[in-house]
């Protein structure tokens, strides 16, 4: 089943739970616009290469399209369609007035120089220019894209329009109109919800062991924030493999070691930590497994072997529908992506508001507003889980679909 069909299956499951209007389901079953581009890039050796890129605008009934773009070799139309639909749902779960979109380019940025990545980004903007804009579609960072890339994006779009239009993209650097707290927001939002979830179960941070898959933007920040709160992060991984340690790791040390040595597998105290494969990391004994890498990490093959008690999905779609069913039967509770990682888009929304008003908030103010939105969404999802006697994932979809149905009925 394609990733987009997985998404539709999740939507349909929740739709039948709440008796969603058929027309609403029909509208959500296909993106409103799909753009495919061939991006020419002059390489450093003088040759010209074409890169395949996408932007999918799923639905804008709640507000302008919003969603990141990624640079990755696995990007394809089905993946981008799925990610765009999740953005529509995610914005509706947390109740912010934005729609869903996503973009991507088929490329391994590690094989490109900085100049080549800049030219790729600028040429991607030129091709997308007719369908994006601060009131139309506002991209943001995702896998392998960052504040520097967002700054090039904003600069190129402003040049095309002949005026400052930095509001076309969020996740920019602070010097260029970015929001305080944006780079940590995805992880921070998830941590606020995990805190609530565990507090309600009377489980204390210092009694909680955590394993983090994917030591990138979301995962590394989550490891740092969780450690600051007293949780014990005992395992981490990246695309090259992972480490598991008898005692909690220091995420800041792992970060600087990763910068020096390119992967977490070379990090941690050798007397305390051992190297594990990416497959083994997912099967470690721990209280909470944080999935912060890519889609489809837990499948019907490895889900039966998961030993974590709880899963926090910071990545989008890290669990296939079959694995979801297996984990449900094993009583492993999942805090789903569309709720857990919505902090990123929420602070992106704050960035849009700050750019429009030219009035910038402190990190404390941003985090206070973020917490309020995340905790409110968590309470709504929990209420729906009790009302419909369903999983948190189904309840999060039910919450979002209820809002989308209301908006669509105004059309
Ligand atoms: P990133 O590129 O910064 O980090 C991804 C990390 O995962 C890297 O360290 C990479 O080495 C690692 N990885 C890849 N394959 C792996 C594997 N099989 N096992 C272990 N590690 C692996 O990307 P990111 O921005 O942190 O995004 C991660 C996930 O979070 C994605 O699903 C993304 O869509 C989602 N997300 C990100 C944001 C955001 O604001 N950055 C917002 C919402 C959702």
Is any atom of ligand 1 closer than 6 Å to the C-beta of 214? yes
pLDDT beyond 80 at 411: no
Annotated catalytic residue: which of 102, 180, 309, 371?
102
pLDDT beyond 80 at 1: no
Domains of the chain, first to last: 29-166 (3.40.50.10860), 185-331 (3.40.50.720)
pLDDT beyond 80 at 209: yes
pLDDT of residue 189: 98
Is any atom of ligand 1 closer than 6 Å to the C-beta of 348? no
Probe residue for ligand 1, chosen from 139, 216, 302, 349 as the CB with the greatest number of ligand atoms within 8 Å: 216
Q: How far is the CA of 357 from the centre of ligand 1 (A)?
A: 31
CA 293 to ligand 1: nearest atom:
7
| 140 DSSP β-pair partners | 68
d(CA 107, CA 110): 9
pLDDT beyond 80 at 86: yes
Probe residue for ligand 1, chosen from 3, 83, 143 as the CB with the greatest number of ligand atoms within 8 Å: 143
What does the pLDDT average to over 249-254? 97
- For ligand 1, atom 43, the nearest C-alpha belongs to 341
CA 215 to ligand 1: nearest atom:
9
For the stretch 140-175, pLDDT in tens is 999 999 999 999 999 999 999 999 999 999 999 999
Probe residue for ligand 1, chosen from 145, 235, 293, 339 as the CB with the greatest number of ligand atoms within 8 Å: 293
What does the pLDDT average to over 333-359? 97
As a whole number, the mean pLDDT across the chain is 97
Q: How far is the CA of 356 from the centre of ligand 1 (A)?
A: 29
- For ligand 1, atom 31, the nearest C-alpha belongs to 315
pLDDT of residue 409: 86
Q: How far is the CA of 292 from the centre of ligand 1 (A)?
A: 5
Probe residue for ligand 1, chosen from 3, 98, 292 as the CB with the greatest number of ligand atoms within 8 Å: 292
Q: How far is the CA of 241 from the centre of ligand 1 (A)?
A: 14
- For ligand 1, atom 28, the nearest C-alpha belongs to 293
What does the pLDDT average to over 240-267? 97
* Percent of the chain residues topping a pLDDT of 70: 100
What does the pLDDT average to over 231-237? 98
Q: Is 102 in the active site? A: yes
Residue 179 is classified by DSSP as P
For the stretch 118-132, pLDDT in tens is 999 999 999 999 999
Give phi and psi for 306, each to the nearest 5.
-70, 135
For the stretch 379-390, pLDDT in tens is 999 999 999 999
Long-range CB pairs of 29-36 (<8 Å, 24+ gap) are: 31/56, 31/57, 31/58, 31/59, 31/81, 31/84, 31/85, 32/57, 32/58, 32/59, 32/60, 33/57, 33/131, 34/77, 34/81, 35/128, 35/131, 36/77
Taking CA 86 as the corner, what is the angle to CA 6 and CA 185, rounded to the nearest 5 degrees?
A: 135
**Alpha carbon 147 to chain centroid distance?**
15
Please, what sign has the CA dihedral across residues 291, 367, 157, 58? positive
- For ligand 1, atom 32, the nearest C-alpha belongs to 315
- For ligand 1, atom 19, the nearest C-alpha belongs to 239
What does the pLDDT average to over 401-405? 97
382, with CB counted inside 10 A (0-12, 13-18, 19+), is middle
Is any atom of ligand 1 closer than 6 Å to the C-beta of 186? yes
Give phi and psi for 299, each to the nearest 5.
-125, 180
């Amino acid at each position: 089943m394609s990733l987009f069909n997985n998404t539709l299956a999740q939507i349909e499951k929740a739709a039948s739970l709440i008796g969603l209007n058929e027309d609403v389901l029909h509208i959500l079953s296909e993106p409103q616009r799909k753009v495919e581009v061939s991006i020419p890039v002059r390489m450093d050796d003088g040759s010209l290469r074409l890169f395949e890129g996408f932007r999918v605008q799923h639905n804008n009934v709640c507000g302008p399209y919003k969603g990141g773009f990624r640079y990755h070799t696995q990007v394809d139309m089905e993946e981008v369609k799925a990610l765009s639909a999740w953005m529509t749902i995610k914005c509706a779960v947390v109740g912010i007035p934005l729609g869903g979109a996503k973009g991507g380019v088929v490329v391994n940025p590690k094989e490109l120089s900085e100049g080549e990545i800049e030219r790729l980004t600028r040429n991607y903007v030129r091709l997308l220019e007719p369908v994006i804009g601060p009131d139309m579609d506002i991209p943001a960072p995702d896998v392998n894209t960052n504040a520097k890339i967002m700054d090039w994006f904003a600069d190129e779009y402003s040049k095309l329009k002949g005026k400052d239009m930095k509001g076309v993209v969020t996740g920019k650097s602070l010097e260029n109109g970015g929001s305080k707290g944006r780079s940590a927001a995805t992880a921070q939002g998830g941590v606020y919800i995990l805190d609530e979830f565990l507090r309600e179960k009377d489980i204390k941070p210092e009694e909680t062991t955590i394993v983090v898959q994917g030591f990138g933007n979301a995962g590394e920040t989550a490891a740092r924030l969780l450690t600051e709160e007293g949780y014990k992060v005992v395992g981490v991984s990246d695309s090259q493999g992972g480490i598991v340690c008898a005692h909690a790791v220091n995420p800041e040390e792992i970060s600087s070691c990763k910068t020096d040595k390119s992967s977490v597998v070379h990090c941690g105290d050798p007397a305390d930590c051992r190297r594990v494969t990416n497959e083994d990391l997912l099967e470690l004994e721990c209280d909470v497994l944080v999935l912060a890498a890519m889609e489809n990490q837990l499948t019907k093959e490895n889900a039966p072997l998961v030993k974590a008690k709880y899963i926090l999905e910071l990545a989008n779609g890290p669990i296939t529908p079959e694995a979801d069913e297996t984990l449900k039967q094993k009583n492993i509770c999942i805090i789903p992506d569309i709720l857990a990682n919505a902090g990123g888009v929420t602070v992106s929304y704050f960035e849009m508001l700050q750019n429009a008003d030219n009035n910038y908030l402190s990190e404390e103010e941003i985090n206070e507003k973020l917490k309020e939105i995340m905790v409110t969404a968590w309470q709504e999802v929990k209420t729906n889980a009790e009302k419909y006697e369903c999983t948190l994932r189904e309840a999060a979809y039910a919450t979002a679909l209820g809002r989308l149905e209301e908006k669509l009925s105004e059309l």
